Structure 1
């Protein structure tokens, strides 16, 4: 598993043993109640999955804790709108925030995750794609559109380098996911954008929404996003709550 997954799973096990002296079915039920009182459903299931993996790995007698069922939304929320995305690009360009100008363009043009984004190298732009390997040695190819590549070749800081990490911070070190998240919130305040939609995954959602509306091939989109199940990708067939509301106001006049 990835380093991040290992860290999250380990934290869950350590948290459990801070609360309870032994891993018993009774204590596992109490832990589940504790999680439900303190965390969102997705976090609850993540912690329970970690404990269940621990039980399986250690061959303990305790029964696995059942996951909680999460009611799936019929709408998408907290996605940057196309208008706000275009506005953000324009303001970043005007303020010569070139690293983040290209960074948000790459996320929105490829649907790449932030953990994958920071692994991009200068050479990947020259190639026009990046091959990413995940659990089980599965390979996914991220294509960089030609119009974005042409823009990179007009960026002096990019053409001055022949190798190394694609995005560097002001100290010349490779940019980090936490640094990206923090900087996007700063730009939200600076440009008067909703902070709720200014986070890395929002641009992955924007890519998916734009792609499905322009192409309609949900199977290809699932491959591009690296989804194991096409059911995960189907969420992008839905509209945002704001879009639903606009349609209702337009259509319903009785």
Structure 2
């Protein structure tokens, strides 16, 4: 038989490999979703060397964005590398670096305010405080579990991910709000943002609650997802300090190029900057 069969046993082993590398829960979830999508597309057939390239073409034909396709290929290549399937990895699409961010995905401070106000009006205190915590500190959604009673008391949270430890300073006003909420919920220690059964909120739960809220707040759903709160924090912080290296440290980025992506202007902002050059007579 030519090629290899992708089995659920191998995919499960890949998951354990990712956990051993201390990948974030979100990364593991995405990699497994993309690898399983490819496995379903193969419909039980043995994987030949050209199949990954065929899948790339299939995704393009079905309207997937190039950046999305490359992220899916990264997951698949990671599986091939883990499985030892030499020569099966596929090249990424060549994508020119984007110089501006789409306005349809730009969460403004006005949008942010409407989301917070609407959540409170609807009695969704936990969601309002959670969005404020992410927006006010820039933590990743996977780092919300480090916002504990102890962290609020100390005014700082120690985040340990991928073998790295960084300290997140918590604003005094946020600490007071967190402790007040924890006392109301009878949470004496540990994580503050919990489900009714006492478990930590998952990325999927947070995402779903925000998506439902945006309809009531009159904010475009394309702008409303947890990571956009982190982008809002980054843009606001940079406007205040104008120090990208400092911002990279605050966000926990090891590469300033990653931080730069957070600071892209919208297309409308960039067009205004070009118009002000006055070079069209």
Same fold (TM over 0.5): yes
Secondary structure at the residue paired with 1:139?
strand
Map 1:83-162 to 2 at 5 A.
83-135=110-162, 137-155=163-181, 157-158=183-184, 160-162=186-188
User: Is the aligned partner of 1:31 residue 2:55?
Assistant: yes
User: Is the aligned partner of 1:46 residue 2:71?
Assistant: yes
Deviation sequence 1:77-108 (CA, Å, 0-9, x none): 31221122233333434444321221111111
Secondary structure at the residue paired with 1:68?
coil
- Alpha-carbon distance, 1:111 to partner: 1.0
- Alpha-carbon distance, 1:248 to partner: 6.5
- Alpha-carbon distance, 1:40 to partner: 2.6
Secondary structure at the residue paired with 1:149?
helix
TM-score by length of 2: 0.77
Asked whether the equivalents of residues 50 and 88 of structure 2 are also in contact (C-alpha less than 8 Å), the reply is no
Asked whether the equivalents of residues 182 and 188 of structure 2 are also in contact (C-alpha less than 8 Å), the reply is no
Asked whether the equivalents of residues 48 and 67 of structure 1 are also in contact (C-alpha less than 8 Å), the reply is yes
Map 1:1-254 to 2 at 5 A.
1-20=23-42, 21-38=45-62, 39-77=64-102, 78-135=105-162, 137-155=163-181, 157-158=183-184, 160-170=186-196, 172-244=198-270
- Once residues 171 and 163 of structure 1 are traced to their aligned partners in structure 2, the CA distance between those partners, rounded to angstroms, is 16
- Alpha-carbon distance, 1:242 to partner: 3.9
- Alpha-carbon distance, 1:209 to partner: 0.4
Deviation sequence 1:180-219 (CA, Å, 0-9, x none): 2222122212122222222111111110000000011111
- Once residues 74 and 241 of structure 1 are traced to their aligned partners in structure 2, the CA distance between those partners, rounded to angstroms, is 8
- Once residues 47 and 174 of structure 1 are traced to their aligned partners in structure 2, the CA distance between those partners, rounded to angstroms, is 28
- Alpha-carbon distance, 1:171 to partner: 5.2
- Alpha-carbon distance, 1:16 to partner: 3.5
Residues 91 and 51 from structure 1, CA distance in 2 versus in 1: closer, same or farther, beyond 3 angstroms?
closer
TM-score by length of 1: 0.84
Deviation sequence 1:113-161 (CA, Å, 0-9, x none): 21222453222211222222222x1122222112221333444745842
CA RMSD, 1 decimal? 2.8
Q: Which runs of 5+ in 2 are unaligned?
A: 1-22
Asked whether the equivalents of residues 84 and 193 of structure 1 are also in contact (C-alpha less than 8 Å), the reply is yes
Q: Which runs of 5+ in 1 are unaligned?
A: none
Q: How many aligned positions are there?
A: 253
